Amino acid sequence: MRPLPLSWLPSSVAAALALALAAPAAAATPLHRLAGETVMTALAGPPRASFLAQVRDGDVGGVILVGQWRSTAQMAEVVRTLQSAACEHGTPLLLAVDQEGGPTRRLPWAAPAESASALGIRDAAHTEHEARAAAAALRRAGISIDLAPVADTRLSPANFLGSRTFSSDPTVVGQLATAFVRGLQTGGVAATAKHFPGLGAAKENTDQHAVSVQLVRLQPFRDAIAAGVRLVMMSNASYPHLDPSGRPAVFSRTIITKLLRGSLGFDGVVVSDALDAPTPNATPHAPARAIDAGVDLLLYTSGSAARRGYESLLADASTSARLRAQLAAAVERIRGLKAWLGSSC
């Protein structure tokens, strides 16, 4: 019998219960499995035997489906194959896509048909309805995580995000991001507020450039956290006014542990933006640095980069008791998310 998700419980109670259940198992998990559970690799089509072997060995804990997919049936069949391989070692995968709306959709036949900026001129009820429809489509395909909504406030007309942001008004962004979170999570799909602490003033894309941001609006993230959002994605930009060291947010304990977890009270899963983007990719020991800062789930948009990240993390953790303890804590939160989703083998 498929277990009930913990979503019927109050958010704080569900999180505490999930972590309590996960803690003993995480502490007893072999190191290579701990490292693997924190790595999310990418897949653009039916998996090769070598990819499935990594899944069976527990070298990856999640998969982001990228590229173009022909139909729900094709995606669902790939998901079944992946989960069957994962369950050979007893731990289901987290499956994620970017389904923000408009042109940013991995399921182009599914909601939201409108971009975030188009949703921004509608009311919150409409946004929540669209997110519920998206959740239904994602669930039919076997997807458990939507890497949406974008909670960045557009603070410059030259902002690279363009139509992916709801508004230049942080109050509107907060209202619509919250509605999107409610719609997805009522439908059993975990939402992701991104890109913390904000890319609304960035003129260049962090997927291609090193970026420094001077201005952010935290209110939409506060609102999404108050609504119970299950994941928050970290930005790869640096924020000198928040962390004078100049570290990118994804490597900043000041921004993740002190600001996001401490001041804003987020207790869910922190996921990186793409660690194979230029700035993190050029950073030595990037996976270990991200985990040390407070990241739980390490996202890669390339299978080969994910493999290198896993090997780097495993090597670093084998010589650091501190990192091993941080990995165990990250895996506890990841397993808490899986419990909320009702994921099981």
pLDDT tens digits, 185-211: 999 999 999 999 999 999 999 999 999
Instruction: Tell me: pLDDT of 9 over 90.
Output: no
**Dist CA 202 CA 107 (whole Å):** 27
pLDDT of residue 283: 97
Cβ atoms of 112 and 126 closer than 8 Å: no
**Dist CA 130 CA 146 (whole Å):** 13
- Token code pair at residue 71: 């139909």
Instruction: Tell me: pLDDT of 127 over 80.
Output: yes
pLDDT of residue 190: 98
Q: 96-117 pLDDT, tens per residue?
A: 999 999 999 999 999 999 999 9
32 is catalytic: no
Mean pLDDT of the chain, nearest integer = 93
Cβ atoms of 250 and 294 closer than 8 Å: no
**Dist CA 204 CA 7 (whole Å):** 37
Instruction: Tell me: pLDDT of 19 over 80.
Output: no
Count helices and strands (H / E) in the chain.
13, 10
Annotated active-site residue in 146, 273, 292, 316: 273
pLDDT of residue 10: 43
Q: 213-253 pLDDT, tens per residue?
A: 999 999 999 999 999 999 999 999 999 999 999 999 999 99
273 is catalytic: yes
Q: 26-42 pLDDT, tens per residue?
A: 767 899 999 999 999 99
Cβ atoms of 192 and 148 closer than 8 Å: yes
Instruction: Tell me: pLDDT of 13 over 70.
Output: no
- Domains belonging to the chain, first-starting first, are 32-341 (3.20.20.300)
What own/partner pairs with CB < 8 Å and gap ≥ 24 does 166-171 have?
166/116, 166/117, 166/119, 166/120, 167/117, 167/120, 168/200, 170/217, 170/219, 170/220, 171/219
pLDDT of residue 27: 63
Q: 150-186 pLDDT, tens per residue?
A: 999 999 999 999 999 999 999 999 999 999 999 999 9
pLDDT of residue 24: 52
Annotated active-site residue in 89, 126, 129, 209: 209
